[in-house]
């Protein structure tokens, strides 16, 4: 049962792999890598799937290399893009590299015989001269084969592709070669959109080093309703708590569709097959309890943000979604819950603001008129008490712990108003 392929197999996490991979893994632990390009200030859900996959390898004794793409991030991967990317400045990319490196660290074990290795492909590319690149690396690539890659051919039939992005697969292949030489890395993993880039790398290592190295891709996570995984109405769900708060992050998982929850559990958690079967049964028997979603949200939020932040997110959710218990909530929990929500600060200098004005202040509605309308529709509550009067105002006594006013619009949209003394 400590066989990584059977582990990934039952979790449905293998899209494709090189035919020689099972044989290689049968010989014992390997060193593998996955690249993370700094295309944004933070990692996101797509990256998390790969991080978790790498972590599964490490837990079973393999050595992971987390490669930050300082160089490839400057070039831009054409995979899955139907138009040329806008190049980010070097300064921006370097800043993101650092942030992403820090973000990756907590997921891996840096001790023991199979300690995780952090690397950056900027190291072996930034001072490579053009002639070396063309003679030593470029010579091994057939343009005919490069054109056949899905990521390139899709663009040739569409918006076109620059020489810069066309060269991306060469850089990624070079990474595999360098990691093979430096660390004996013999496996690259990635999302299924990376298959072309990965096989380009295994080809290069075979030509240059006469060595068989392997690739494995995981399926793209898709959702039953057809919308893109990892996005909410407000945008991408990031791993950085500054960009996506732990509360929002927790809510993202809690709101998973019943139809998707098993896939997500298999992909993003370390729960066993037996545990997942039990949760599947629970979903079927009493879907309203949403035990599977709770387990998912708990596990993934803990993995990414830690125990403490998870407890806070849960407490906040329980308080906000619970009925009428807000006054019993302690100040610390309330405080953190409210910081998660859109909030605004007001001062009560004698004038009592109306509820609709406060709704506008924390951007729960677009205009005062919309706020009054929302109240008239019976969709607004203050501290979990429904507001019935369009002209209702609040007073100092309404602020919980003398500090926060909890506004709710509809069933699950919250906002906070803090009091400036």
Partner RNA sequence: GGCAGAUUGCCCGAGCGGCCAAUGGGAGCGGACUGUAAAUCCGUCGCGAAAGCUACAGUGGUUCGAACCCACUAUCUGCCA
What does the binding site for RNA look like in residue numbers (CB under 7 A)? 233, 251, 254-255, 257-258, 287-288, 290, 293, 317, 321, 360, 366-370, 372-374, 377-379, 409-413
Residue partners of 151: CB distance under 8 A and separation at least 6: 77, 78, 79, 80, 81, 168, 169, 193, 196, 197
How far is the C-alpha of 354 from the C-alpha of 344, rounded, in Å? Answer: 14
How large is the greatest C-alpha to C-alpha distance in the chain, in angstroms?
A: 81
Q: Name 255's Cβ contacts closer than 8 Å, sequence gap at least 6.
A: 293
Residue indicated by tokens 């890598």: 33
Please report how close the Cβ of residue 166 comes to RNA at its closest, in angstroms: 28
| Closest CB to RNA among residues 43, 300 | 300
Residue 142 or 388 having the CB closest to RNA: 388
Residue 154: CA count within 13 A, CB half-sphere: 13
The residue among 167 and 293 lying less far from RNA, judged by its C-beta, is: 293
In angstroms, give the least distance from the CB of 261 to RNA.
Answer: 8
User: Which one, of 118, 121, 93, 123, lies nearest residue 107 by Cα?
Assistant: 118
* Closest CB to RNA among residues 200, 297: 297
Q: How far is the CB of 297 from RNA (least distance, A)?
A: 8
For residue 143, the minimal CB distance to RNA (Å) is 33
Neighbour-count burial for 275-314, b at 16+ CB within 10 Å, e otherwise? ebeebbebbeeeeeebbbbbbbbbbbbbbbbeeebbbbbb
User: Is 411 or 421 the residue whose CB approaches RNA more closely?
Assistant: 411
Q: How far apart (Å, rounded) are the C-alpha atoms in residues 144 and 92?
A: 34
Output the smallest distance, CB 164 to RNA, in A. Answer: 27
**What is the Cα–Cα distance from 35 to 172, expressed in whole angstroms?**
9
- Count of other CB atoms within 10 angstroms of residue 245: 21
For the bound state, the minimum distance from the C-beta of residue 9 to RNA, rounded and expressed in Å, comes to: 28
| Closest C-alpha to 418, from 349, 343, 363 | 343
β-strand 385-386 against 380-382: which pairing, if any? Answer: antiparallel
Per residue, the 3-state secondary structure of 275-338, as one string, reads HHHHHHHHHHHCHHHCHHHHHHHHHHHHHHHHHHHHHHHHHHHHHHHCCCCHHHCCHHHHHHHH
Nearer CB in complex with RNA: 88/413: 413
Q: What is the SS3 assignment for 144?
A: helix
Helix (H, G, I), strand (E, B) or coil at 414: strand
How many C-beta atoms lie closer than 10 Å to residue 410's C-beta? 12
For residue 231, report the phi and psi dihedrals to the nearest 5 degrees: -120, 150
Q: Closest CB to RNA among 200 and 254?
A: 254
Task: Find the shortest distance in angstroms from Cβ 257 to RNA.
Answer: 6
Grouping H, G, I as helix, E, B as strand and the rest as coil, residue 53 is: helix
Q: How far is the CB of 288 from RNA (least distance, A)?
A: 3
| Min separation Cβ 314 and RNA, Å | 8
Residue 96 or 253: which CB sits closer to RNA? 253
Instruction: Identify which of residues 166 and 247 has a Cβ nearer to RNA in the complex.
Output: 247
**Nearer Cβ to RNA (91/285):** 285
- Give me the least distance between CB of 381 and RNA, in Å please: 8
């Amino acid at each position: 049962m400590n066989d990584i392929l059977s582990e990934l197999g039952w979790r449905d996490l293998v899209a494709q792999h090189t035919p020689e991979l099972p044989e290689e893994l049968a010989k014992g632990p390997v060193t593998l890598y996955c690249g993370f390009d700094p295309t944004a200030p933070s990692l996101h859900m797509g990256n998390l799937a790969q991080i978790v996959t790498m972590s599964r390898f490490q837990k079973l004794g393999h050595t992971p290399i987390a490669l930050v793409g300082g160089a490839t991030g400057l070039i831009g991967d054409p995979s899955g893009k139907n138009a040329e990317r806008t190049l980010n400045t070097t300064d921006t990319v370097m800043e993101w590299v650092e942030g992403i490196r820090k973000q990756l660290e907590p997921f891996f074990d840096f001790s023991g015989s199979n300690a995780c290795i952090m690397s950056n492909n900027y190291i072996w590319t930034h001072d490579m001269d053009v002639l070396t690149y063309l003679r030593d690396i470029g010579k091994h690539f057939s343009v005919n084969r490069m054109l056949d890659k899905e990521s390139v051919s899709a663009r040739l039939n569409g918006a076109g592709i620059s020489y810069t992005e066309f060269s991306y697969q060469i850089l990624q292949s070079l990474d595999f070669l360098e990691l093979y030489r430096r660390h004996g890395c013999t496996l690259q993993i990635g999302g299924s959109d990376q298959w072309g880039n990965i096989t380009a790398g295994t080809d290069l290592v075979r030509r240059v080093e006469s060595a068989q190295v392997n690739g494995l891709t995981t399926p793209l996570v898709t959702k039953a309703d057809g919308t893109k995984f990892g996005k909410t109405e407000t945008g991408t769900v990031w791993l950085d708590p500054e960009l996506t708060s732990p509360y929002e992050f927790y809510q993202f998982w809690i709101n998973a569709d019943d139809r998707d929850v098993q896939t997500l559990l298999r992909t993003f958690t370390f729960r066993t097959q037996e545990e997942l079967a039990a949760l599947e049964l629970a979903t079927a028997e009493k879907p309203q309890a949403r035990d599977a979603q709770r387990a998912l949200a708990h596990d993934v939020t803990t993995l990414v943000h830690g125990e403490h932040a998870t407890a806070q997110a849960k407490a906040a959710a329980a308080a906000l979604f619970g009925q009428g218990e807000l006054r019993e909530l302690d100040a610390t929990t309330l405080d953190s819950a409210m910081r998660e929500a859109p909030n605004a600060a007001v001062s009560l200098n004698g004038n009592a603001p109306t509820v609709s004005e406060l709704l506008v202040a924390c951007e729960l509605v677009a205009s005062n008129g919309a706020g009054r309308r929302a109240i008239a529709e019976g969709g607004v509550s203050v501290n979990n008490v429904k507001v019935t009067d369009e002209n209702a105002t609040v007073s100092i006594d309404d602020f919980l712990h003398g500090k926060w006013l909890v506004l709710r619009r509809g069933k699950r949209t919250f906002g906070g108003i803090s009091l400036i003394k």
